[in-house]
Amino acid sequence: MNEQSSLPELLEERFGQSIEIHEDAQPGLPFLEMLAAHRVHRKYADREVPRELIELLCACALSAPSKSDLQQRDIIIVEDPSTRRSIAERLPHMPWAGEAPAFVVFCINGRRLPAISSWRQKPFPNDHFDLLFNGIGDAAIALSWFLIAAESVGLSGCPISELRNFSNDVSEWLGLPDRVIPFAGFCLGWPAEEGQISPRLPLDVTVHSDRFSEAGLRGRIDGYDRRREQLQPFAEQKDVGRWGTLPEYGWSEQKARQYAVPQRTDFGAFVRAKGFNLD
């Protein structure tokens, strides 16, 4: 990160608009600047991440809020070389999954709560979709806090949601029992390069007052596409054999092409087979 970058400059680079920094934010500026300057890193220095440091980051991640204090999330530190190799082999388009000095997997745990109810001889009438949904929230928040903790000590990384493309294999490799499923992996290491801030959708698209609104959405997305193409163009256009090449290729075209192909259509069946009720 450019040490001279101020929070207003970082936010303007991110959102393409000026954002006022209220005076009450002054005490937290260093932390807010770290958040605003976030970059995904996929290239890492040849430097070990000590196990003790990873455990510290896990402790900080698991200090995050948890829905009703249910604590339905777990973290697996993957150190076994054969497991790392198996994961990397399934992600050949993501070489960083195998190259990162450390790799962890965040899991949704819907198993402990029913077990506790049984131990305490209590009924468990909440075996429905909310059990899974709460675990998803817990795992996502913990991953976010892990990332923040990592960046605070100079580490960085990249979430890997594509683990869910081969969830059955991941479950076998990691010994995940019923009602414990992988949410995402996370590559961790010391960044080898500065990285780039990814422009985000403007705040008038994603922040609403009182009621949800999509007024003028198409025009705002078009504007975002132009800004993103100027600042962070995609290295290549996706699936040109099917969709051709466009002279102007922005975020919305990339995402439309990405989701024009079925993805993880068997994931619901996997989740049910692992013992979750999706009703």
Convert the chain into a string of H (helix), E (strand) and C (coil): CCCCCCHHHHHHHHHCCCCCCCHHHHHHHHHHHHHHCCCCCCCECCCCCCHHHHHHHHHHHCCCCCHHHCCCEEEEECCCHHHHHHHHHCCCCCCHHHHCCEEEEEEEECCHHHHHHHHCCCCCCCCCHHHHHHHHHHHHHHHHHHHHHHHHCCCEEEEEHHHHHHHHHHHHHHCCCCCEEEEEEEEEECECCCCCCCCCCCHHHHCCCCCCCCCCHHHHHHHHHHHHHHHCCCCCCCCHHHHCCCCCCCHHHHHHHHCCCCCCCCHHHHHHHCCCCCC
- Assess whether 81 and 189 both reside in one domain: yes
Give pLDDT, residue 1.
41
Amino acid 136 reads I
Tokens read off for 60:
């900080």
Last residue of a domain, one of 194, 229, 264: 194
**Given 141, 173, 194, which residue is the final one in a domain?**
194
State how many domains the chain has: 2
Q: Which domain holds residue 221?
A: 199-279
- Residues 261, 131, single domain; the answer is no
Specify whether 165 is located in the same domain as 63: yes
Percent of the residues in the chain that have a pLDDT greater than 90, as a whole number: 97
**Torsion angle in degrees (nearest 10) through CA of 79, 81, 86, 88:** 80
Question: What's the mean pLDDT in 67-74?
Answer: 97
pLDDT, tens only, 19-42: 999 999 999 999 999 999 999 999
How confident is the model over 191-214, as a mean pLDDT?
96
| Positive/negative CA dihedral, 164, 168, 169, 174 | positive
Instruction: Please tell me whether residues 215 and 179 are part of one structural domain.
Output: no
Whether 94 maps to a domain, the answer reads yes
> Does the pLDDT at position 3 exceed 90?
no
Would residue 26 count as lying in a domain? Answer: no
Answer with the one of 142, 174, 194 that is the final residue of a domain.
194
Same domain, 101 and 118: yes
Query: What is the per-residue pLDDT across 139-164, written as a single tens digit (0 to 9) for each?
Result: 999 999 999 999 999 999 999 999 99
On the question of pLDDT at 48 being above 60, the answer is yes
- The answer to whether residue 92 scores a pLDDT higher than 70 is yes
Same domain, 229 and 248: yes
Q: Say what the pLDDT of residue 5 is.
A: 66
Segment 95-113 mean pLDDT: 97
**pLDDT over 70 (residue 4):** no
Residue 43, in any domain of the structure = no
